[in-house]
Amino acid sequence: MGKLRIVGLGPTNEKDLTVKALEAIHDESKKFLRTEAHDAVAYFRSHHIPYQAYDYLYESEDDFDSIYRAICEDLLERSRDEDITYFVPGHPLIAEKTVIYLLEKDPTIEIVDGLSFIEPVLSSVKRDPVDGMKIINGDDFSDLDLDLHVDTIVTQVYNQRIVRELKLALSELYGDEHEVFVLSHAGHEEKAFFEKRPVYMLDRFDDYGYETSLFVPKTDEHGDVRDIVRLIRRLRGPEGCPWDVKQTHESIKANLIEEAYEAAYAIDCKDAFAMEEELGDVLFQVIFHAELAAQEGTFTLASLVRVLVDKMIRRHPHVFQGGINDWEGIKSAERGSQTLSQKLRHYDGLPALLRGQKTIRLTKSDSLLSETTADMDEDSRRIARGLIDVLTDAESCGIDAESLLATTMARFTDVLSEKERNEYENL
How much of the chain, in percent, has pLDDT values that exceed 70? 98
Eight-state DSSP code of residue 188: -
Query: How far from 168 is each of 67, 153, 172, 203, 276, CA to CA, in Å?
Result: 29, 17, 6, 10, 20
User: CA–CA separation, 107 vs 102, rounded Å?
Assistant: 8
pLDDT at 366: 63
Which of 178, 186, 173 minimizes the C-alpha distance to 202?
A: 178
Is residue 238 scored above 70 in pLDDT?
yes
As a whole number, the mean pLDDT across the chain is 91
| 3-state DSSP assignment of residue 140 | coil
pLDDT of residue 124: 94
Question: 337 pLDDT exceeds 70?
Answer: no
- Rounded-to-integer distance, Cα 193 and Cα 323, Å: 52
- The pLDDT, as a whole number, for residue 2 is 86
CA 399 to each of CA 41, 233, 261, 419: distance values in angstroms, whole numbers, following the listed order: 72, 43, 19, 29
What is the mean predicted confidence (pLDDT) over 193-213? 94
242-269, pLDDT tens digit by residue?
999 999 999 999 999 899 989 988 998 8
The mean per-residue pLDDT over the stretch 146-157 comes to 95
What distance in Å separates the CA atoms of residue 3 and residue 28, rounded to the nearest whole number?
A: 12
Least confident of 2-16, 37-51, 130-144, 344-358: 344-358
Instruction: Indicate if the pLDDT at residue 47 is higher than 80.
Output: yes
Q: Which of 197, 97, 205, 201 is nearest to 156 (CA)?
A: 97
- Range with the poorest average pLDDT among 162-176, 326-340, 395-409: 326-340
Q: What is the mean pLDDT of residues 400-409?
A: 86
C-alpha 312 chain-centroid distance: 16
Torsion of CA 69, 74, 76, 80, to 10 degrees: 170
- CA pair distance 202, 163, nearest whole angstrom: 7
The confidence score (pLDDT) of residue 364 equals: 66
Kind and range of the H or E element at 254? helix 253-268
Identity of residue 265: Y
Cα distance between residue 2 and residue 368, in whole Å: 81
pLDDT number for residue 365: 62
Ramachandran area for residue 389 (φ above 0: left; ψ -120 to 50: alpha; else beta): alpha
Residue 38: CB atoms within 10 A of its CB come to 21
Distances (CA, A) of 423 to 116, 375, 411, 416, 418: 77, 48, 18, 11, 9
How is the chain split among helix, strand and coil, in percent rounded to 5? Answer: 55, 10, 35
pLDDT for the residue 410? 82
Measured distance CA(101)–CA(325) in Å, rounded: 35
CB atoms within 10 A of CB 258: 14
DSSP string, 287-310: HHHHHHHHHHTS--HHHHHHHHHH
Q: Which residue, among 113, 100, 107, 158, has the nearest Cα to 10 in the 3D structure? A: 113
